[in-house]
Structure 1
Amino acid sequence: MARVILMVIDSFGIGHAPDADKFGDVGANTFANLSKALEKEKGRPIHLPNFAKLGLLSAGEQASGVRVNHEKVENVKGAYGYAAELSTGKDTPSGHWEMAGVPVLFDWGYFDKKENSFPLDLINKINEATGCLGMLGNCHASGTVIIEQLGEKHIKTGLPICYTSADSVFQVAAHEEHFGLDNLYRYCEIVQKIVGPMNIGRVIARPFVGDDAKSFTRTGNRRDYSILPPAPTVLDNIQKAGGTVISVGKIADIFAHQGISENTKATGIDALTDATLDHINTAKDNTIIFTNLVNFDQDFGHRRDPVGYGLALEAFDKRITEIKAAMKDDDILFFTADHGCDPTWPGSDHTREYVPVLAYHHHIGQVNLAERTTFADLGQTIADIFNVTKLSYGTSFLDELVFK
């Protein structure tokens, strides 16, 4: 049976979604706006020949009406479309769960106040359960900014740095050596048990190293503690039917390790791509390799670095050639995203956007998948590929991926 390689370009939106007005995101377009910024600074259009060959330029133009400036591409070989999100939020778990067939139709819990974000009774409950005497932060913040601001005080006091954002999330930053990585994980596990019943989607451990504010840097030992999806996903159905589900990056954390057979961690886009290639070269049939490329979001989207985002896309584009070369004759490769994070948009939060849906196998021609009304169309298609239990949401487009 065929293998599926599903790669999530975390935060790669291609134009504001139909309901973007509810989120204040009308006009957001991660792809188009980072491309404009790159061209302005570098004096040249963005160069993504492999993505363009898969139909990305057409998908982006259909989604937003904006054609990204790019050299002409002949003979597209791939299926391309764009998908809107049904889920109520524009966060990571919602996007991933929906693409696996389970949209989030309930309301997440949020910490809406920009300052003093966590209620006093919650703080007291966390302090009592963890044995900590308090916490620093307690606000909406950028993860890199807050460790620069509070990292030295954290080392001096031994108190964890706790913060949140517009997402349903409780984040904890702590120094790997002074606070201890295991202690950070233990703290986050306790917090997750407390905030989970509040419908807070994730507690995220954000370890960092360094000697002072100028040298503090986050490490690759991030860990996400998520609540479980509200229904079985396509990953559960594949595993139940005897298939193998390989997580690369933070996928396993996003799904609370449910429906995951193997879990590979890696730090950085190249390392995540290397790990994916390793699995493509060794994985047996009846396997899905599910990779999240988090750095596009955390290093460039949230940090509002459009030029860095564009250069990282160009570097990753070169590696698509390696991925395609490693694929077997009946493997199917998908590229998509979980939300947008327009690096030119005000603030530092995600943006409500269409995401690309790109598909490739060695015998495909040019296929226009057009608009998909839910990310779950991808999950339903994957369920179809593996011939497992169908999902409650989504319409399969497998018949359109004709093997010639």
Structure 2
Amino acid sequence: MGRAFLIVLDSVGCGAAEDAAAYGDEGANTLLHIAQGCADGRGDRPGLRAGPLRLPVMGGLGLSLAVAASCGEAMPGLPSPDRARGMWGYGVETSSGKDTPSGHWEIAGAPVASGWGYFPDTRPSFPPDLTAALIAEAGLPGILGDRHASGTAILDELGEEHIRTGKPICYSSVDSVLQIAAHEESFGLERLYDVCRVARRLCDRLRIGRVIARPFLGDAASGFVRTPRRKDFAMPPPEGNVLDRAASAGRDVVTLGKIGDIFAHRSTGREVKAPGNMALFDALLAETASLRDGGFLFANFVDFDTEFGHRRDVPGYAAALEAFDARLPAFVAALRPGDIAIVTADHGNDPTFRGTDHTREHTPILAFGPGLPGGSIGRRETLADIAETVAAHLALPSSGPGRSWLAGR
């Protein structure tokens, strides 16, 4: 029996969804606008990259064709082959929101059935009873922030006061999230995690999707930097997703990056983390070599989103895409006959768009493997089609609203 590899390029969307205007995202298009920025010079940065966007591997698999099918425009600089080497198309998220859990849960075959809770973009942002309970139950002298903010900007603003007072920095965004930042040395990493565990329990009744620990180091003189020891405390996903099905069938399950956090560490098998996209790619190659027949590997490459999308960094985003593409041949070569690999995304984060938040977009879908034919899989009306395709390939039970493009089930 072959194996299945599901790789999520976090935030690499391919065109505004039909309901994007309801989210303030009409006109967003992460991939197209990056390619256009590279074509007109906005993607140039001395010492990093210059010129048109170069993605020969994903282009040959049908990436530009998927973008064109989604939005009607091809990506400048990318090949648009008459016969792509992979199956290509795009997916439409049916869950409400444009955040990481809803996208990943739907990809795994379990769309979010009811809406998330959100904190308003006001000052203060958090309900007074939530703040009071967090301070009392976590034994805090108080909190700082209490508003929507950029995670890097708020560290620059409040990092020194946090160290002086011992008050953690609490902030949110348009996503269903409470983020808590604290200095690893002066506050303590394990103490930060404990505070987030308290916050997770308190946020359950509000249906807040994630509480995120955001540890950082540094000082006011040298600057503050976030460390790779971030930890997400998510609401548990709906039952019956493809991870649950693979685990129940006794299959090898390996999850890379923040997949374990997103799925509340349920049915996530052996969890492997690494600091950054290239270290994650090293782990992907190592795990591909050892994954047993019938196994399932689910990976998230987060740098596209956290390092470049939210920071509205076109050259950095473009360089990260090119670096990923340059390493794909080694992964393709490691696939065995009978394997399937699917590369997709969970939402958008257009670095040319206003603000610093995710964007409500379609997501590209590229599927390939030894012996798999190329060609269009068209528009997939739910991201859950990805899970059902994985399930069909691995001979797992069918469940949920998705429909496999391999088996038609």
* TM-score with structure 1 setting the length: 0.97
Say which of 94, 103, 115 aligns to 2:123: 115
Amino acid at match of 1:248: L
Residue 70 of structure 2 is matched in structure 1 by: 63
Distance in 2 (alpha carbons) for counterparts of 1:4 and 1:124: 46
Amino acid at match of 1:30: T
- Could you tell which deviates more after superposition, 149-158 or 31-40? 31-40
Amino acid at match of 2:166: G
Identity of aligned residues (%): 46
CA contact (8 A) 2:141 2:166 kept: no
Q: Give 3-state SS (helix, strand or coil) of 1:225's partner.
A: strand
Distance in 2 (alpha carbons) for counterparts of 1:247 and 1:217: 26
Over 3 Å counting, the alpha-carbon distance change for 1:352 and 1:71 in structure 2 is closer
Matched, 1:216 2:224: yes
Distance in 2 (alpha carbons) for counterparts of 1:213 and 1:112: 33
Residue 304 of structure 1 is matched in structure 2 by: 312
CA contact (8 A) 1:300 1:308 kept: yes
CA contact (8 A) 1:148 1:213 kept: no
Matched, 1:13 2:13: yes
- Could you tell which deviates more after superposition, 331-340 or 391-400? 391-400
Matched, 1:336 2:344: yes
Residue 292 of structure 1 is matched in structure 2 by: 300
Residue 28 of structure 2 is matched in structure 1 by: 28
What displacement does 1:275 show?
A: 0.8
Residue by residue over 1:126-175, the C-alpha shift from the partner in whole angstroms, topping out at 9 and shown as x without a partner, is 01110002001101011111111111111111110000000000001111
What displacement does 1:45 show?
A: 1.6
Amino acid at match of 1:234: V
Matched, 1:274 2:282: yes
CA contact (8 A) 1:49 1:73 kept: no
Matched, 1:38 2:38: yes
Distance in 1 (alpha carbons) for counterparts of 2:14 and 2:173: 23
Amino acid at match of 1:198: L
Give the aligned CA root-mean-square deviation in angstroms: 1.2
CA contact (8 A) 1:92 1:339 kept: yes
Structure 1 residue runs of 5 or longer lacking an equivalent are none
Distance in 2 (alpha carbons) for counterparts of 1:196 and 1:287: 33
Distance in 2 (alpha carbons) for counterparts of 1:343 and 1:72: 22
CA contact (8 A) 2:118 2:174 kept: yes
What displacement does 1:202 show?
A: 0.3
Amino acid at match of 1:159: K
Structure 2 residue runs of 5 or longer lacking an equivalent are 45-49
Query: Aligned ranges for residues 332-371 of structure 1 at < 5 Å?
Result: 332-371=340-379
* TM-score with structure 2 setting the length: 0.95
CA contact (8 A) 1:10 1:297 kept: yes
| Count of residues paired in the alignment | 400
Matched, 1:47 2:54: yes
Distance in 2 (alpha carbons) for counterparts of 1:214 and 1:302: 23
CA contact (8 A) 1:9 1:336 kept: yes
Over 3 Å counting, the alpha-carbon distance change for 1:52 and 1:72 in structure 2 is closer
Distance in 2 (alpha carbons) for counterparts of 1:297 and 1:214: 25
What displacement does 1:34 show?
A: 1.3
